[in-house]
Structure 1
Amino acid sequence: MLRLSLGAKFTLGTIVAIALAFMYIPLFLVVINSFSAARLSSWPIAEFSTIWWEKAFVSEPIRAALLNSVIVGLGATVIALILGTLVAFALQRYTFFGKQTVNLLVVLPIALPGIVTGVALNNTYNQVLEPIGIEVGYFGMIIAHGTFCIVMVFNNVLARLRRINPSIEEASRDLGATPLQTFRLVTFPQFRSAFVAGAILAFALSFDEVVVTIFTAPPGVDTLPLWIMNQMARPNEASLVNVVATVVILASFIPVWVSQRLARGADERE
Structure 2
Amino acid sequence: MTKFAARFVLATSVLIAFASLARADDDALPKVTVYGTATTEVTPDLMNWHLTITNKGKDLAPVADNHHRIVAGVLKLLKDSGIDEQKIQTARMAFGENWVYRSNNRVKEGYYASTSVSFEMSDFDLYRTLWSGLAQDEHVSIDYVGYDHSKRIDYQNETRIKALLAAKEKAKALAETLGSQIGEPLLIEEDAGSQSMYPVPTFSNNLRTVESAEGGSEGIAKGKIPIKIRIKASFRLITQG
- TM-score range for the pair, normalised by the shorter chain length: under 0.3
Name the structure where helix makes up a greater proportion of residues. 1
Q: Where is the strand percentage greater, Structure 1 or Structure 2? A: 2
The TM-score, its normalising length taken from structure 1, stands at 0.25
